[in-house]
Structure formats: structure tokens, C-alpha cells
Structure 1
């Protein structure tokens, strides 16, 4: 269920004209109410707005904590071409208008999102991996962490800092890519460091179709690495898992929008069921 209020699902349907309708049981509302919003569509965003309104009509003095694991529209955090919108600003304005007491987001695409959100708390990649079994494996086996591009480099260094032990530091390297800003097509991918014989983990916030990671994995395979795995916080996997299988031993994510029948627990390991610090 995309929206939960104190762990209870809301009821929702759409009228024939397309308008969203929301209702919830007054009994689930408490003085401090937590809403979790999985916002994968415009309809779910509208349902969230209606949910907050319904809650305040039940208990006007309510304190609301809103948890949005994947913050929608955050990937467009700058205007690249004249005539485009700054979608992250539009979305954060909508959420700020709800006047929640706290808004928790999981590994936003950039610092722009948290800077624009009121009362924001961020759970980072480093927070998630530091609690995971994968984090322990990376330490024990001295894996290499690779940021696929400069935009992911800062976060990857933070992960390495959290996971590194007192006298053993995880190596961090960075790939690079050239992308056409109008079409989104990746024109070239490069990686210049020596990782022959090493186990490497690509680290980023989002996997959509996966082309960024596939192209980098091809380069790494040519450099004769021992193993390549992928960690992404938000697994959209819009083309499914099959295109990624030839290049990665495993994929790890905090959560995914894939349905259970699209998942493969031998290949895709999801952390959200075990992460408890939100």
C-alpha cells in the first residue's frame, strides 16, 4: 500500500473523471501520527495531500511525521535547458505546504532536496550500509567502492568513512560519463584506476533502467576485476533485473518498486525490512 497512517493503509479510489478519493479510520489517528508515503505516481502524491487534510480534520492539533523513502521529482535538481521546470522545487513546495513537524527522506538524489525541505531529516547511504550485513562483508573482505560519476563521489566517500576500521580504509574510486542533457543518453564511460583482481561495489542512490551501471561494469570487466556488485538505495529497475544479470553478482537496495513476482531474492537483496533507525 503506497500510503500508511500509523502502519494502517488508507482507503482510496478514483472517480470516473480521474479525481482521487481518500478515507481513513479516525481510530488510527494519535496525537503524534506517522505517515509513510511511497509516492511512485502523481495519483499517490495527490492521495498524500488528501490524507494529511483528512487527518487534520479528525485531530486539528495532530503532530505529523512524514516518511518519504524515495522523494519524487528530486532527480531534476537544476535546470539544464531553457524551458524546463525545476521539479524538485515544485515537489518540495507541495510537501512544505503540508506543514509537517518532521519529514524523513531516505538518501535523496542531492543536497538540494534537503535544503529545500522544512523540518527535514535525512537517512543516508552510510547510515543504511553501516547497519547492513553487506557493510560487514565490505570491511572483512576489503572491497573497493566505486562511484559511477562525480555526482555520487561525495556519498561514496562517506560510506567508506563509516565502514573503514581504525587501521584499514576502504579504497574509493570514481568513474566518469558523458551524457547528452537533452536526450539523457550516455555517450561515453571511463574508469582509469587499477582494480585488477579486486572485488568492487558500485554505489549510487538510484537505479532506473541501469545503463549507467552496465556501461561502467563493462569497463570494469575489461580491467579483470574479481567480482562486481551494485548497491543502490532506490531500485526502480524500470527494465527489470534481466539486463543487469550479466554484469553483477548481486544487487543490493534499500527498497524497490518491483512487485514480488518481479524480484529474485538470490540476486536482489532488499534492506528495508531490516533497517530500523528511521
Structure 2
């Protein structure tokens, strides 16, 4: 087994390698003056199971499209070098939110991304908390391995709220199953019956509306859970609605923190007491006040165990059980 991490995800890759007690395999990424680049493995990959780590988000090293292109080219180079199997480990999958047509002639971009991966020869994609699991699984024709961070988040909040009243909230109707699954884990381990709260949300031309809440939040510590925080406007809107209805405090939880340029101002609002995220995307903190509210939980050990089991033929179902 060989594990590579492209430069954009080197830090995360080193965490995974540390958990596996191996060193990342050497590779080259070279830039040219005209903006082109090349990448290649610097070790023999022939007849090896190869895992390539790259989180597909924009950042200082390039746009989302650049990160995607770099990963595709490296996969193809490894394929041409006669690897036995290639698994791409993509903690954050770009374009996963564009999974259906919402307007006439809209693209279904996640399907196009899947076709690009398959064209360069991947055998498997491994990710965590994709936006729409059914759409993701239907878009790809290769093996899809989907991890979940809910047990990691649940452990944190079970310790934090041992003797307090908790409610779990979905900030929109689309995230109800995610929130309900999280609620059930908390119920199982706390021995308490916990309410599921749902917030109305409608979006048109980038404008969010709807303020109805289903469920009782009065006197509760409300955990709002979603797959992604970008600007934070959805989380803040839900948090303020909860406080207006008598919630004691509101906590925001999301696996992926892509944090747009507006996130610092929006999420620094006192309506949200704490923001709990994973390290699937390198943390960008656009505002100093926001830094004090962030708690980062690592999902690298989960990915490392998944890689170990994939290579050895172990069970990912057992890995993801609600224990």
C-alpha cells in the first residue's frame, strides 16, 4: 500500500499517515511559467494499492477547479505507471451540492465530476458527509465509500452536555435525516429522549427566507447540524430564531467549513456560542473573534482506519456503527 497526499492536503495527509504509522510516499509537483504544471509519483507504484489524498476546495494554492485538475492529472500518472488499484481520498468533494437541475438547462455538475474521475481510471472514491448521499452514489459508477463524522461530533457533545437539556436542529428540510441520525446517537448514549427541531428555509436568487420552526427549543441547548458552513448565514438565521423562542444557547456543527469572505462577520455574532467543525478543509479564519468560537475535531483517524480496512478487506460498516 502506498499513500500520497498532494500539497494542498499535505497536512491532513500527514495526520492520516501518522495514524497508519507509515510515511507518505514521495511525489513531485512542478509549476511552469505559463501556469501549467505536472505531477508524478517518485516511487514505484507498479502492482500497488495506491491511495491519493486531496480535499477539493479553493484556497491560497489555487481554485477548486485547479485542485480538481491537479488530482485528475496525478491519478492518470499513477494509472499509467501500472498501479494495481487507485483510491482517491477526498474529504471535501467539490460540486457535490450541484446534484440536480433546479432551473431549465441547469448542469448536474456532480455527475460530470464523476465522469472525469472515471475517465482517468480511479477504482474507488472515499469521502465524508457528502451533501446528498443518494445523488453522490448515483453519480459515480466506481466504488463509493462514504464516511460520517456524526459519532465524532456526538462524543464531543455527550461529554459537554452531560446534565443539560439538548435539542438537535436541522436548519432546513433537506437536512432532516442528517439531524435525526445525529439525534438518535445522542439519545442512545445519553438515555434521554431528545427533540428534533426543523427550521423552514426557502432560497430564491440567492435570498433566503422562511422563519417557521417545528419543535420546542425553550430552555434547551440547541445543536444545529449541517454538512457545510460557507457564509454562515443559514446557521445564524436558525440560531437567532431559536434564541427568540427561548433557547438557552445555540451551537453550530458542520463537517466541512469552507468559510467564505463574509463568514467572519456573520459567524462572530453572539447568537452562536460555539462552532464545531472537522479538519476536512484546512481552516481559514477570516475574523479574529471567530477564532475564539471554533472547535476543530479531526477526522483523520477515521480516514486512516478506513484506508487500513479497505486495503486489508475489513468492514467499513462495522467502523461506522453507532457505538
Q: Same fold (TM over 0.5)?
A: yes
1:275/1:199 CA distance change after superposition, 3 Å: farther
Runs of at least 5 residues in structure 1 that lack an aligned partner in the other structure: none
Q: Which has the higher helix share?
A: 2
* Paired position in structure 1 for 2:177: 154
- Give the secondary-structure state (helix, strand or coil) at the position aligned to 2:87: strand
Compute the RMSD of aligned alpha carbons: 2.6
1:123 aligned onto 2:147: yes
The equivalences for 1:12-161 within 5 A come to 12-26=29-43, 31-40=48-57, 41-58=64-81, 60-110=82-132, 111-117=134-140, 118-130=142-154, 132-138=155-161, 141-161=164-184
How many angstroms does 1:78 deviate by?
Answer: 0.9
1:252 aligned onto 2:258: no
Aligned residues between the structures: 274
User: Quick one: distance in 2 between partners of 1:54 and 1:231?
Assistant: 38
How many angstroms does 1:122 deviate by?
Answer: 0.7
1:19/1:81 CA distance change after superposition, 3 Å: same
2:219–2:248 Cα contact (<8 Å) kept: yes
TM-score scaled by length of structure 1:
0.87
2:231–2:259 Cα contact (<8 Å) kept: yes
User: Quick one: distance in 2 between partners of 1:34 and 1:61?
Assistant: 10
How many angstroms does 1:91 deviate by?
Answer: 1.0
2:254–2:277 Cα contact (<8 Å) kept: yes
Runs of at least 5 residues in structure 2 that lack an aligned partner in the other structure: 1-6, 18-23, 58-63, 307-323
Cα deviation digits, residues 93-119 of structure 1 (max 9, x gap): 112334333311110100201222221
1:2 aligned onto 2:8: yes
User: Quick one: distance in 1 between partners of 2:216 and 2:78?
Assistant: 56
TM-score scaled by length of structure 2:
0.76
* Paired position in structure 2 for 1:266: 292
- Give the secondary-structure state (helix, strand or coil) at the position aligned to 1:163: helix
How many angstroms does 1:27 deviate by?
Answer: 5.4
1:224/1:275 CA distance change after superposition, 3 Å: farther
1:163 aligned onto 2:189: no
1:184 aligned onto 2:206: yes
The structure whose RCO (Cα within 8 Å, separation 6+) is larger is 2
